Structure 1
């Protein structure tokens, strides 16, 4: 072995090599932190959207149940499931003739079930704006929430009593 070969093996790592390796390591760590932060933020937004979606779905199901019960006089409650369905035809016939069943259903809803907006307890809290539009025998309901991205859910309800219109 020559003296030159021995010297190269004992020299170690130079300062520029240490600086470059440290810089690369810092970049990798910073990118890792940024990706972790982004993933956690995305999970938070996803959870918030999920809570809003569940709250909207629950309200739609409540409205669907009420559209089934609207003007029902028999067979609508759980203890009457074996009985035939009957509806208040005295009230129903004029509404059917005027094609005003949607407006009557909307005006018959309890105020607690037709809010203009409601808040969902998420972080941060999300306010959901609700729009009701009665059109002939239908009731259009739209829910809009300022989530990231914005969420809009719409549905149309026709009271079950409509099937008893003459």
Structure 2
């Protein structure tokens, strides 16, 4: 797949952009879009597609949304459980989020993220964390939280969004699927 090409999705019957849950048979298209989205990105180790596959195989894709435009899969977002100080506290990690290179900067990623956050809230999640550009993720309400940490990264890049005002503190660990290569 060339970086500017999206993958056809079997069974897509509606015309126009829509955000839906990942369905059986979407795996190859998600992998292709994810690989294409991260090619050449200096912050990427090119493992994002393997991470999504590992999370799926472990049953840890709590929310897995795809963006379909006509019959083409043009984006994907994953949300998976995280632990805080080794305990499940009802928090989730956002990512990876991928949009086909030819479709970036059209708001597709924002729609995927917003849809995923709404889904988490409907599941009574307590909050969500993300590692990424503060300027981008701030628009969704993410912000650095004193006392909530991940590895030895600069705190401004590790951000959290508490649902219902409940904040958390401690060391965050992502699912083991994030170690996939």
The TM-score normalised by the length of structure 1 is 0.27
Structure number having the greater helix percentage = 1
Q: Which has the larger radius of gyration?
A: 1
The TM-score normalised by the length of structure 2 is 0.25
Structure number having the greater strand percentage = 2
